[in-house]
Amino acid sequence: MKHLEGISLAALQKSVCHLDAGFADLPEFETAAPGVNGIDSVLLEAAERLRDNYPYFHPLYAGQMLKPPHPLARAAYALATWINPNNHALDGGRASSAMEKEAVAQLAAMFGWQEFLGHLTGGGTMANLEALWVAGRRDPGKTILASSAAHYTHERISGVLQLPFESVSTTCDGRIDCEALEARASNGDVGCVVATLGTTGTGSVDPLPEILKLRERYGFRVHADAAYGGYFKLADSLNAATRASFDCIAEADSIVIDPHKHGLQPYGCGCVLFRDPAVGALYKHDSPYTYFSSKELHLGEISLECSRPGAAAVALWATQRLLPLIKGGEFGAGLTASRQAALELAGHLTEDPRWVVPFPPELDIVVWAPRTPSASAASARSREVFERAAAQDLHLALIQLPLRYFDPKVFDADSDHILCLRSVLMKPEHAQWIDEILRRLEIAAFPVE
């Protein structure tokens, strides 16, 4: 295999045999699964269909927030599907529930929590839903606030939960405007403020120390949505303000982090953590079917989702066993490398008068616009460069940013927004590929006719 790494396939086969040997005492049986003779041809057909994708696994895919799972995570996930445990109750997933508790405790410890309540979820959306659900149960009728650059999910989730939601403006670097936040919070009817530690669009980190100070004054809950940025807690070379936000994340009331974003996991792995384990009481329900095999905590007792993939927990557990979430470790070095790649790309683009970088990256996401006379011309040009880059196998992304993020001298204000180019440099390989990315961007944007 040339592009798709195959190291983990042999290890997977060996571990499946080892797992099988654990059940050697059972009588033999033939699988009654229908159609097994067709597996080969249908799987090849599926592979054929899957060729219709951008090459997300390749460093020249430098567009959206897509990071290949670690080879071990992929293998461990597949291994677990031979058992296919369900982490709802211990009856359905004994070993994988224990592994989930260990893996989640390691995530909590990364943020500085020894005592906490938490579990894996299908993703960041479900994890944030649980956090806002708890906020709404704790302070019924009060308003949820998030910045206008927060993930759209917060407004939609608040709608689902029937909690009042309002957005607060940002400063020109995509972070929540604390003056506007204070003006709104001083009404006294705010139940929870969402602090985004790493916005999905630009990787901007809300100033958590200031938000926590406002919490002291106005008494709202603080939920840290670190679905994207949470793992940067382990990165070196963050700027001082960004560092300060990650350094006090343990003071938040709840935290969301997505192992399927920067944590090297296949999709289907989010995580919600609560500082106060007593919120577990809010989840209380009586199930007539489950929870009989053990008096120990069944994860389904503290989760809104019922069935959950034990395989996701096994993959995460294995990844963290190989690459512990410790400062100065190999995993953290990967985050530092991503950030390095972003700084390097942003540095080149900032020096080049043909581009405009509105603000330097806080994490590993770079946004930039073509320098043109007007905002609308820049938008049209971004789209053109985006398409021409793809023809060079360089895959970028697009993002619409408010014009006020840019120096007012640069563009004629014939629109409130500018469509910009965006690159999420989240792969460990990206740091080595910046020159090649710039070379292809040059060919795409400024072809020599």
Quick one: tokens of 201? Answer: 């669009």
Nearer to ligand PLP, 204 or 340 (CB): 204
Which stretch, 12-20, 211-219, 224-232, 244-252, contacts ligand PLP (CB under 6 A)? Answer: 224-232
Nearer to ligand PLP, 228 or 406 (CB): 228
Nearer to ligand PLP, 118 or 123 (CB): 123
* 183/363 Cα distance (integer angstroms): 28
What is the separation, in whole angstroms, between the first and last Cα of the chain?
37
Calculate the alpha carbon distances from 426 to 232, 378, 396 in Å.
11, 26, 13
Q: Does 303 bind ligand PLP (CB under 6 A)?
A: no
- Using the rule CB under 6 A, which residue among 85, 93, 123, 334 binds ligand PLP? 123
- Using the rule CB under 6 A, which residue among 144, 227, 257, 366 binds ligand PLP? 227
From the list 113, 200, 119, the residue with the least C-alpha distance to 154 is 200
Which stretch, 117-125, 286-294, 328-336, 429-437, contacts ligand PLP (CB under 6 A)? Answer: 117-125
Phi/psi-derived region of residue 176, left when phi > 0, alpha when psi is between -120 and 50, beta in every other case: beta
Residue 353 Cβ, how far from ligand PLP at the closest point, in Å? 32
Nearer to ligand PLP, 92 or 118 (CB): 118
The continuous run of DSSP H or E covering 67 comes out as none
Q: x/- string (CB under 6 A) for ligand PLP, residues 70-109? A: ----------------------------------------
Q: Does 118 bind ligand PLP (CB under 6 A)?
A: no
Calculate the alpha carbon distances from 430 to 51, 153, 201 in Å.
23, 29, 19
Which stretch, 123-131, 360-368, 383-391, 430-438, contacts ligand PLP (CB under 6 A)? Answer: 123-131
CB 283, CB 146: distance < 8 Å: no
Q: What is the 3-state secondary structure (H, E, C) of 179-230?
A: HHHHHHHCCCCEEEEEEEECCCCCCCECCHHHHHHHHHHHCCEEEEECCCCH
The site that binds ligand PLP (CB under 6 A) totals a number of residues, namely 14
Q: Find all residues with CB under 8 Å of 323, minimum gap 6, and list them.
A: 70, 264, 329, 330, 331
Q: x/- string (CB under 6 A) for ligand PLP, residues 141-170? A: ----------x-x-----------------
* 324/316 Cα distance (integer angstroms): 11
Which stretch, 41-49, 124-132, 311-319, 420-428, contacts ligand PLP (CB under 6 A)? Answer: 124-132
Nearer to ligand PLP, 124 or 136 (CB): 124
Which stretch, 103-111, 220-228, 280-288, 415-423, contacts ligand PLP (CB under 6 A)? Answer: 220-228
Calculate the alpha carbon distances from 183 to 187, 209, 370 in Å.
8, 17, 36
Q: Does 128 bind ligand PLP (CB under 6 A)?
A: yes
Q: x/- string (CB under 6 A) for ligand PLP, residues 174-203? A: ----------------------x---x---
Residue 123 Cβ, how far from ligand PLP at the closest point, in Å? 3
Per the DSSP assignment, residues forming a β-bridge with 176 are: 170
Residue 17 Cβ, how far from ligand PLP at the closest point, in Å? 34
Residue 140: phi and psi, rounded to 5, are -60, 140
Nearer to ligand PLP, 132 or 389 (CB): 132
- Name the residue whose CB lies closest to ligand PLP: 124
Residue with tokens 């099988």: 20
Q: x/- string (CB under 6 A) for ligand PLP, residues 248-267? A: ----------x--x------
Residue 323: phi and psi, rounded to 5, are -125, 80
Residue 199 Cβ, how far from ligand PLP at the closest point, in Å? 6
Residue 443 Cβ, how far from ligand PLP at the closest point, in Å? 31
- Using the rule CB under 6 A, which residue among 8, 96, 97, 125 binds ligand PLP? 125
Quick one: tokens of 131? Answer: 């956090």
Q: Which residues of 58-79 are buried (b: 16+ CB within 10 A; e: fewer)?
A: bbbbbbbbbbbbbbbbbbbbbb
The continuous run of DSSP H or E covering 270 comes out as strand 270-274
Residues that bind ligand PLP (CB under 6 A): 123-125, 128, 151, 153, 196, 200, 225, 227-228, 258, 261, 270
